[in-house]
Amino acid sequence: MVDSLNSVILAHHNPINLELTLSSGQAFRWIRNGNLFEGVLGDSLVTLQDKGESIEVINWESDTECILKHLRLYFRLDDRWEEILETLGRDTHVAEALLRYQGLRLLKQDPWETLIAFVTSSVSSIAKVSYCLEGLSQQFGRRLNFGTSARCAFPTPYELARASEKELRSVGLGFRARYVKEIAGYIADSEIDLEFLQDLPYDNAKEWLMGLPGIGPKVADCVLLYSLDKIEAFPVDRWIERVLLNWYPAYKRRWKRDTHKWAVEYFGKYAGYAELYLFQHIRTASKQRNS
């Protein structure tokens, strides 16, 4: 058990809004307590607090430089933000979202956890996905004790492969339990490191993912965008489909059968950032209308 609490500062030159970013439907295991956000990154428990032009990182690790390096990658702090703004700001709808939701950032997460998260996300709300992932972690993951705090690491493919489908259903997975077990068994038996997909072209990486049980185009694109550096990926769910049909007449007329091709031609190489902001825009507008 680690019992030494540390506090370090993660500096950033471009805005990061923790609330927007960590509740945007990319990540599911952050717990908010007032202005603090507690999460598990690998085997590390970290608590983050927004300090304006920096983030305070409270952790139980002695190697604070390693934690900061991990978080720099996690929040993609080395992305060319000015270039992203200039490229996407040419579209009026995305430009409005960029202005309204300043600090919303694309995340680079662990591919294995992201894969299972979005398999779980089928026909589920963000709250339900969070519940299922926390249940998987508590029941099958390794317990991490840090001082008086305790969370569980996300279970490895080997740990989930050993679980029965009945046990997986007990945490709320429903029909997705079969897919999770089959995927975990395949990854464990093959000893595959999903990071290899990062080096493949987008089309090849997506085709490989869609060869796994229960993974369609939308889930594959989420995994590619949120964990494997394929920022040209453009996940399409009911929210994004509604945006494209209502706001982009050219898409409706010509491109509905090849959404990704349209998105890359229209938004450019940062199509995934455009999707993130459009998703936030339409989802927030819908909440406001229904409140």
Active site residues: 218
Q: Are 36 and 90 in contact (CB under 8 A)?
A: no
Q: What does the alpha-carbon distance between residue 99 and residue 118 come to, in Å, rounded to a whole number?
A: 28
Other CB atoms within 10 A of residue 257 CB? 7
Long-range CB contacts (within 8 A, 24+) of 206-214: 206/230, 206/233, 209/115, 212/115, 212/182, 212/183, 212/186, 213/178, 213/179, 213/182, 213/183, 214/119, 214/122, 214/176, 214/178, 214/179, 214/182, 214/183
Q: Are 43 and 153 in contact (CB under 8 A)?
A: yes
Q: What does the alpha-carbon distance between residue 222 and residue 228 come to, in Å, rounded to a whole number?
A: 9
Both tokens assigned to 227: 């964990």
Both tokens assigned to 239: 């929210």
Looking at this protein, which amino acid is placed at residue 248?
Y
